[in-house]
Amino acid sequence: DAKTTQPNSMESNEEEPVHLPCNHSTISGTDYIHWYRQLPSQGPEYVIHGLTSNVNNRMASLAIAEDRKSSTLILHRATLRDAAVYYCILRDAVQGAQKLVFGQGTRLTINP
Amino acid sequence: DSGVTQTPKHLITATGQRVTLRCSPRSGDLSVYWYQQSLDQGLQFLIQYYNGEERAKGNILERFSAQQFPDLHSELNLSSLELGDSALYFCASKGLYRNTIYFGEGSWLTVV
């Protein structure tokens, strides 16, 4: 499984944008970039995924570098409920049922 | 609510005992995944089933086994329990043509 690198922790203030970086220099052409988050005492929750183009949904935006070796999850206006561990994961698009391999993720703290 | 149901939510048992954790996937999802999350190991993939057949195996101990039944629900059996098996066990499921994996709320196992 291709590896991703994320900062161990980040801190931001409520109602401000948050940019969570992820490096994946060994990404292959068929790897999707997935983001999941895990709130305290809950199971991981899907946030967003993309292949090459930037993606937006109701939760967040995903900005993917042109060379695909890095990506950034953007929370446009953080709330206290966004405090969680965020995981950046690569999944091979060819092997559709492939498991998710979780790293250590980034623990995001939101200050009121 | 992810649609993935896990029972029991909490379980306390003694060393040497055997327990069974149950998972009902989202309606129609053929793939079921089991993960273990302990404080010092993060989220570890254990095993995956697809439509009743074992598809992938991760860091699953020989004392642990799983199966997926014809109605697609799955059970994770943990035997000869040790203190170190205390953890949160998550089940997840995925549909055939979907990219998203949905996680249940987990089963907290405490071995005393």
Cα within 13 Å of Cα(B28), Cβ side: 4
Convert the pLDDT of each residue in B5-21 to its tens digit: 999 999 999 999 999 99
CA distance A53 to B33: 29
Q: Do A43 and B103 touch (CB under 8 A)?
A: yes
pLDDT above 70 for B65: yes
Please choose, from the candidates B9, B6, B44, B1, the residue with its C-alpha nearest in 3D space to the C-alpha of residue B25. Answer: B6
Average pLDDT over residues A37-51: 93
Per the structure block, which two tokens stand in for B83? 């203190």
* pLDDT tens track for A94-107: 665 578 888 899 99
Average pLDDT value for residue range A67-83: 96
Is the predicted pLDDT of residue B47 greater than 60, yes or no?
yes
- Contact between A43 and B48 using a beta-carbon 8 Å cutoff: no
Q: What is the mean pLDDT of residues B81-106?
A: 92
Q: With contacts defined as CB-CB under 8 Å, which chain A residues touch B35?
A: 102
Whether residue B42 and residue A32 make contact (CB cut-off 8 A), yes or no, is no
CB contacts, 8 Å: A101 with chain B: 45
At residue A95, the pLDDT reads 61
DSSP letter, residue B32: E
- Residues in chain B within 8 Å Cβ distance of A32: 99
Which of A60-74, A82-96, B79-93 comes out lowest in average pLDDT? A82-96
Alpha-carbon gap: B43 to the closest alpha carbon of chain A (Å): 6
Mutate to test the interface with A, among B4, B37, B43, B93 (most CBs of A within 10 A): B43
Say what the pLDDT of residue A94 is.
66
Indicate the residue of B43, B99, B100 with minimum beta-carbon distance to A102: B43
